[in-house]
Amino acid sequence: MIQHSFLLAAFFYLLSLGGTIAGKKHLAGILLILGLLANGYSIGMRYWLTFPMLPLYQGPFFLPFFLGIFSIKALKNDQYSWSNTLLLINLMAWIALFFPNDHYLPFIQFKTIFSHLFFLFGVIARAFFILAGLQAYQCIRKKETDETALQQLREVRQSVIWGYLFWTISVFCGAIWSYLGWGSPVIWEDPAITTAMATWLYYSLYLHLHLISFVNAKNRPFFAVIGACWVIAFNCLPDMGKFMLPNIFMVKNYI
């Protein structure tokens, strides 16, 4: 059920992208919402079958959902921006489908609200950072008037601030969980701790860019794009596993 509903979500996302490319924005919006519902069901079932614990590496299945939710507002944007957004959601969903890493069983040390907040806020933050990168990319591509460019830059900054807020709270919740469970806010075992720190530092830097003399408003979108690439490479991809063809695609099941 979990895998099938996620696959259904991925198909809806794909159809939504197709609808956007074909110029049927209204239909694309409906298909996106259907995809989000299926995705929501899938992640809800994941939670239902493991709560109050939490298995490792579930992030890739949650990410397209939050990315989609936060992108709905952008429906009013032009077709090009909207199809870029849907392309990214599709990429995230299909990668999660073909490279799952959810074969570990949940363990009892996850039984605390802080572990759940650490996980959920972390995924939400990643979605915002990736969205900021996408908005920044669109900013760079278009040669808009000064006012529109400033407006777009502000949207990028807003996404970064939301992402930074959630990332910081996620890191802090993780530190509290680590302290309660193991007596220290930082446990030197999981390499993800280094990339989590690096992401936090990167976006702290981003929020200071307006104070740096050699970085002007024109360059700031590039930092957001680099940040999004970093987040995908070091905060999302490590949660992925080996290539695994979903059962439904296996021909021998039908022979």
Residues 175 to 194 in contact with other proteins, rule: CB under 8 A: 175-177, 179-194
DSSP classification of residue 209: G
Whichever of 40 and 241 has its CB closer to other proteins, that residue is 241
Distance CA 160, CA 225 (A): 11
By CB under 8 A, tell whether 219 contacts other proteins.
yes
Instruction: Label residue 231 exposed, middle or buried (CB < 10 Å: 0-12, 13-18, 19+).
Output: buried
Interface with other proteins (CB under 8 A), residue from 102, 123, 125, 127: 102
**Of residues 82-101, which lie at the interface with other proteins (CB under 8 A)?**
101
Shortest reach from residue 21's CB to other proteins, in Å: 31
Does residue 214 touch other proteins according to CB under 8 A? yes
As measured in angstroms, the least distance from the Cβ of 51 to other proteins is 8
Q: What angle do CA 160, 187, 229 make, to 5 degrees?
A: 30
The least CB distance from residue 141 to other proteins, in Å, is 16
CA dist 56 and 137 (Å) reads 31
Render 160-177 in DSSP notation, one character per residue. HHHHHHHHHHHHHHHHHH
Burial of 140 (0-12, 13-18, 19+ CB in 10 A): middle
**Binding to other proteins by residue 143, rule CB under 8 A?**
no
251 touching other proteins, by CB under 8 A: no
CB of 160 vs other proteins, minimal distance in Å: 10
Given candidates 205, 237, 248, 249, which one binds other proteins under the rule CB under 8 A?
Answer: 205
What's the maximum distance between 2 C-alpha atoms anywhere in the chain? 66
Residue 47 touching other proteins (CB under 8 A): no
